């Protein structure tokens, strides 16, 4: 079986901010697929074109305050989709100003796993991404070796040790 392609999506309506996010996340591009979108609509349509047999979305970074569909609503919509591609996807909302009601929606309906404030420190973003990708790979029982170089290697090594996913042969 081939290893799945794991995607990191970034949705942000301001192009210079999107550029900065993609630039900060580019170290992951050696092992993961990185894609940027300027609106929820664009991302939503693009996700439809993925191959359920080969592609998995590991992580979505989404701005909250956007024209058209807002971040929380987009994430809720994705949460309701029953695509294999979106199974276990970790959703991160980029916001400094989500209100109480939005936070409730985020947790109950959108399955947001993390809030990331703006502006961010590039190193922190990279570490957060590493942690969330590692969570995803372990939780979804994806064979971790092809992605290990960009993951939390100690956790992956311990996971391999404790779970015997493969053996001498």
Partner 1 sequence: MTKKHLIAILLGTVGFLLPLVLPLETLSLAGKINLGIFLMAAIFWILEPIPIYATSVLVMLMQIFLLSAESPIAGALGDFQAPAYTLYLNTLANSIIILFLGGFVLAAGAVKYQLDRNLSRIILKPFGTKPGSILMGLMLVTALLSGFMSNTATTAMMMAVILPIAAAAPEGDRFRIALALSIPFAANIGGILTPIGTPPNAIAINALVSRGIDMPFSSWMGYTAPLVISGLAALWFILIRMYPSSQARLPLQLEGKFQTSPKAIALYVIFALTVLLWVTEKLHEIPSGLVAFIPVALFPVFGIIERKEIRSLPWEVLWLMAGGMALGVAMNQTGLAVWLVELVPWAAMSPMMILAAFGVVAILLATFIANTVAATLLIPIMMTLVGSGIGDGFAIQTAALMVAVGASLGMSLPISTPPNAIAISTGLLNSSHMLRVGVVIGLVGYVLLLASAFLIWNLIF
Partner 2 sequence: MPDRSPPAQSATDAHLESIRKLIAEDRFFAERLRSFQAGDLLIRETEREQAVWLILEGELQLSKGAESNNQLRFDRLGAGELVGILSYYTRNPNYFGVLAVESGRALVLSWDDVDGLQESQPSAYRFLQELIKGSLTKRYQRLADLHIEVDRVNQALNQEREELRATIDELRKTRERLIHQEKLAMIGSIVPGIAHELNNPAASLSRNADYLEGILKNLLTGPDTPEQMAQSWQAGLQNAFSDTNEQRQRLEQLSQRFPKLPRPLLRRLAKLPPELIPQGNSVPKDEQGWERLLQPFEAGHFIQVVRSTSHRISRLVQSLKRYTRPQSENFQAIQVEDGIRDTLLVLGSRLRDTEIETDFAETPKVSANEDELNQVWTNLIVNAVEAMDPGGKIRISSRLVTDDQQVEISFSDSGPGVPESLRNAIFEPNFTTKAQGGNFGLGLGLSISTVILQKLDGTLQVEDNNPKGAKFIVRLPALRP
Give me the residues that bind partner 1 (CB under 8 A), please: 2, 144-146, 148-150, 153-154, 157-158, 160-164, 166-169
Q: CB-based contacts of 166: which residues, under 8 Å, 6+ apart?
A: 143
Report yes or no: 53 and 3 within 8 Å, Cβ to Cβ: no
List the strands of the sheet with 33-37, edge to edge: 33-37, 5-11, 55-63, 90-94, 112-116
Of 60, 66, 75, 92, the residue at the interface with partner 2 (CB under 8 A) is: 66
Residue 87: CB minimum distance to partner 1, A = 22
Q: CB-based contacts of 43: which residues, under 8 Å, 6+ apart?
A: 9, 11, 37, 60, 62, 74
Q: Hey, which residues between 9 and 48 contact partner 2 (CB under 8 A)?
A: 13-16, 18-19, 22, 26-27, 29-30, 34-38, 41-42
Stretch that binds partner 2, among 53-61, 64-72, 130-138, 150-158 (CB under 8 A): 64-72
Q: Quick one: what does residue 108 bind among partner 1, partner 2, none, with the CB cut-off 5 to 8 Å set by partner type?
A: none
Residue 167: CB minimum distance to partner 1, A = 4
Q: Quick one: what does residue 145 bind among partner 1, partner 2, none, with the CB cut-off 5 to 8 Å set by partner type?
A: partner 1
Which is closer to partner 1, CB of 69 or CB of 150?
A: 150
Report yes or no: 129 and 91 within 8 Å, Cβ to Cβ: no
- How far from chain centre, in Å, is Cα 143? 18
């Amino acid at each position: 079986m081939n290893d799945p392609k794991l995607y990191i999506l970034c949705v942000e309506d301001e192009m210079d901010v999107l550029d900065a996010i993609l630039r900060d996340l580019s170290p992951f591009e050696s092992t993961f697929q990185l894609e940027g979108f300027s609106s929820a609509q664009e991302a939503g349509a693009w996700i439809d074109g993925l191959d359920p047999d080969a592609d998995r979305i590991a992580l979505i970074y989404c701005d909250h305050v956007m024209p058209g569909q807002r971040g929380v609503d987009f994430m809720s919509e994705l949460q309701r989709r029953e695509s294999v591609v979106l199974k276990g996807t970790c959703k991160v909302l980029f916001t400094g100003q989500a209100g109480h009601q939005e936070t409730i929606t985020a947790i109950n309906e959108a399955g947001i796993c993390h809030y990331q404030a703006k502006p961010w420190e590039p190193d922190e973003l990279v570490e957060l991404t590493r942690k969330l990708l590692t969570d995803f790979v372990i939780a979804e029982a994806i064979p971790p070796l092809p992605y290990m170089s960009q993951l939390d290697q100690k956790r992956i090594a311990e996971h391999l040790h404790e779970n015997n996913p493969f053996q001498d042969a």
